Amino acid sequence: MEPLGPEALCTTTLNRYLSHRSGTSTRNHNHMQQPQAPSSPSPSRRTQPLPPVPEKDHMTNDESPGEHQEMRLQEMRVPPDVYVHAFFTFLDVDKAVALGRATSTVLGPPLVNVPFVLRRIDSALTVHSLIGLVDVDRSPQPAGLTAGMSRLHYLTRCAYVLESIVGDLAGFLRLAIIYRLLNEVRLPLIITPGWVDRHLPSKSAYHRLPGAIAQYCAFGHHLAFKGKSLAVEKEWEGQKGPRQRFMVRGEGLETVAREDLPEGHPYLSGYSADDPVIRCRSLLYPSFSAFMKTIVLTTWYHQEGVNEREVTLLYHVNWEDQKYHALRTDSEAAMRGATVLRFQSSDGKETRRIILLMGQGVADKMAVYLMLFGTRIALCTTEREVGGMSGVADRFPISASVVRPLLARYGLEGLLVSS
């Protein structure tokens, strides 16, 4: 038997609960309506038609199935915590709101309402470490609500975006703050009703873009580098499929489909259609999320007021040096908390690596990372240099303390002394 989708499972569980409480079974009804398929099913979930509603079961001719269900809910006195928490917390927020309010016209509105959606929003912000970085307009009358868009409708769409977050959006936004890419916008960044109305008229419209790119569109217009917006712009409308082209501050980007990567390509491992491989000029990046962090560190790092310095730790490393080879090839898990950003030429002949050690944490005020390119290792940092000192460890004491444990694990800590 094909598994039930979440909407059908929710309704089936509710009916069974009611039937158990009333001592009857929905299987005993002889007169049943034809099953109706749930509207707008999620493309990623297999759904079954909703269970049928009895046409005649202590109902008068003017009673609707919804009124009958309402009567049963009131008679059985379903506990509110059971009604909300047991049935609706595992649904997408839009389905929870629609199904909850349709199931019970009395219990639905008081329970599956604005506070319910705000709790979902707060939970998503907490899970994705976005508290203080991103929020919604929580005022009783959000500015910019259009005709036909209620406050509940607006918040439900925002909750859907936040519960669909892909990748480390919080880490990217904290890097953007350190590199002063916020376009004179105060935190938290607000998902406004105007943005929701323009870019999220429906779930299908939102999912025309890969998830990571769609969510960046909600915040990219708040960012700027050298006075130019960092919002994503599509090169042409109506574009959908395995390859899509975009522009970010004049830089052309193209998504790369899984089938376009050659067999054995390192980016096949962990490939995600929601966060696809990106081609920019002659370079390939393993995901859009990785591309955005990388371009901050390699291109958007010299915003006015940012004091990033690069210190070469070692030139002309011996390619056969096992310690350097391990530093270049070890997995992110082996880096023990560091973020590894990779990018390579389209032909795969040239690989570069960034090991990001500071800049994404809640308390981080500076960025510190190692850049490995060819036979060169460089320390990059936004820490202000201590004047009158000669060694790296003395000129950049905080950065050195961050980098030293990693270099020590690979037997390379001497680079901080010799540079």
- Say which residue, 202 or 332, is predicted with more confidence: 332
16: confidence class by pLDDT, cuts 50, 70, 90: low
223: confidence class by pLDDT, cuts 50, 70, 90: very high
Please state, in angstroms and rounded to a whole number, the distance separating the CA atoms of residues 133 and 393.
33
Residue spans of the domains in the chain: they are 1-112, 307-419
**pLDDT at residue 36 greater than cutoff 50:** no
Work out whether strand 251-256 and strand 376-381 pair parallel, antiparallel, or are unpaired. unpaired
**244-264 exposure pattern, b = at least 16 Cβ within 10 A, e = fewer:** bebebbeeebbbbeeeebeee
**pLDDT at residue 299 greater than cutoff 90:** yes
Q: What is the pLDDT of residues 247-265, one digit of tens each?
A: 898 888 999 999 999 999 9
Q: Note whether 215 and 170 are within 8 A (CB).
A: no
Per-residue confidence (pLDDT) for residue 351, from 0 to 100? 85
- Say which residue, 89 or 286, is predicted with more confidence: 286
The model carries a pTM of 0.77
Per-residue confidence (pLDDT) for residue 89, from 0 to 100? 59
Per-residue confidence (pLDDT) for residue 337, from 0 to 100? 86
The overall average pLDDT reported for the chain is 79
CA 6 vs. chain centroid, Å, equals 22
Q: What is the pLDDT of residues 55-66, one digit of tens each?
A: 333 333 333 444
37: confidence class by pLDDT, cuts 50, 70, 90: very low
- What is the SS3 assignment for the chain? CCCCCHHHHHHHHHHHHHHHHHCCCHHHCCCECCCCCCCCCCCCCCCCCCCCCECCCCCCCCCCHHHHHHHHHHHHCCCHHHHHHHHHCCCCHHHHHHHHHHHCCCCHHHHCCHHHHHHHHHHHHHHCCCCCCEEECCCCCCCCCCCCCCHHHHHHHHHHHHHCCCCCHHHHHHHHHHCCCECCCCCCEEECHHHHHHHCCCHHHHCCCCHHHHHHHCCHHHEEECCEECCEEECCCCCCCCCCEEEECCEEEEEECHHHCCCCCHHHCCCCCCCCEEEECCEEECCHHHHHHHHHHHCCCCCCCCCCEEEEEECCCCCCCHHHHHHHHCCCHHHCCCEEEEEEECCCCCEEEEEEEECCCCCCCCCEEEEEECCEEEEEECCCCCCCCCCHHHHCHHHHHHHHHHHHHCCCCCHHHHC
Per-residue confidence (pLDDT) for residue 78, from 0 to 100? 53
Which pair of tokens denotes residue 49? 């038609």
- Say which residue, 6 or 348, is predicted with more confidence: 348
Residue 102 CB contacts under 8 Å (≥ 6 apart), including other chains: 66, 108
